[in-house]
Amino acid sequence: MSGFMIFTLVLAVLAIVFAFQAIKVVPQQSAWIVERLGKFHAVLSPGLNVVIPFIDRVAYKHSLKEIPLDTLSQVCITKDNTKLSVDGVLFFQVTDPMRASYGTSNYVIAITQLAQTTLRSVIGKMELDKTFEERDLINRSVVSAIDEAALNWGVKVLRYEIKDLTPPAVILQAMQQQITAEREKRAVVAASEGRKQEQINLATGAREAAIAESEGEKQAAINKAEGEAAATLAIAKATAEALRQIAEATRAPGGMDAVNLKVAEQYVQAFAQLAKEGNTILLPSNMNDMGSMIASAMSIMRNTDPKTVSTEVTKPVVPSILNTKS
């Protein structure tokens, strides 16, 4: 192998190595920090980038994605001197790759430590019950404190979430007893409210039933009154019609005689009925009036056509009236 061929081969190998060192492909959502002779030079953006081999070097590689970071569990003391074990998760994102590279030696440890100290400070201002109720307030307080300090680190804290709040076993037992008592109290209240509502419903039903019954009785009384009124009106109309016909009959020839005859018949029948029903009968104070009425009736019967006159008034009637029962 000639010297030229060896030189060509070495040159090709150097070209390949040079190209490999000079061409940098940065992934999406990433940022690479390039230093030239130990000094910050540039930030490589995603895609194909070219650097000077052996002079430029990639010093730091940062992911620009949102990064979840678990914080270690720690013991915090509340305002009422209760120990509370707290752990959470922190979500952050690199916004300035240069500051993230040179602002702190390790921004992950920095924000973790700051999150823990801020959490202890916030919980120390609260009582135990409030720590369970004010989780959102605790999360916002931690994010606000870290975010202000992390500006110089090129990091943006997006949110902090408490995963678990664990009080001591004694406190847990006391809380469980309190919850049980509260539930029993609510059950008793609910049962009493149910009985109260039941009594209200029964009273309401009885009242509505009484109202319905009274309305029915009222309507029945109205219907009865209307029926009696209609019957009275019908009787009155019939009586008026009868009186009208009697009046017309009295004006006709022989009408008064017929009326006198009818009155005499009813008179005699009334006394006959009294004689049958009891031992005592009522007689007119003037017996002559009774006799004259009977005589008048008999006179009318003699002067009237026997075919048109009722034969109900007979001789046996008078003796039956005049003779009293023993």
- For 61-102, what is each residue's pLDDT tens digit? 999 999 999 888 888 888 888 888 888 899 999 999 999 999
The pLDDT assigned to 321 comes to: 36
**Per CATH, is 67-167 categorized as 3.40.50.10890?**
no
Residue 316, judged by CB atoms within 10 A of its CB (0-12, 13-18, 19+), counts as exposed
The pLDDT assigned to 127 comes to: 87
pLDDT in tens, 124-155: 888 888 888 888 888 888 898 888 888 888 99
The pLDDT assigned to 251 comes to: 72
Closest CA to 61 of 49, 37, 45, 38: 45
CB 128, CB 171: distance < 8 Å? yes
The pLDDT assigned to 186 comes to: 87
In the chain, the amino acid numbered 269 is Q
Predicted TM-score of the model (pTM): 0.50
The pLDDT assigned to 31 comes to: 93
Q: How far apart are CA 174 and CA 160, in angstroms?
A: 29
Compute the chain's Rg from CA coordinates.
63
The pLDDT assigned to 61 comes to: 92
Q: How far apart are CA 317 and CA 284, in angstroms?
A: 17
The pLDDT assigned to 296 comes to: 56
Residues of the chain below pLDDT 70: 1-2, 254-259, 261, 263, 267, 271-272, 274-326
Domain with CATH 3.30.479.30 in the chain: 67-167
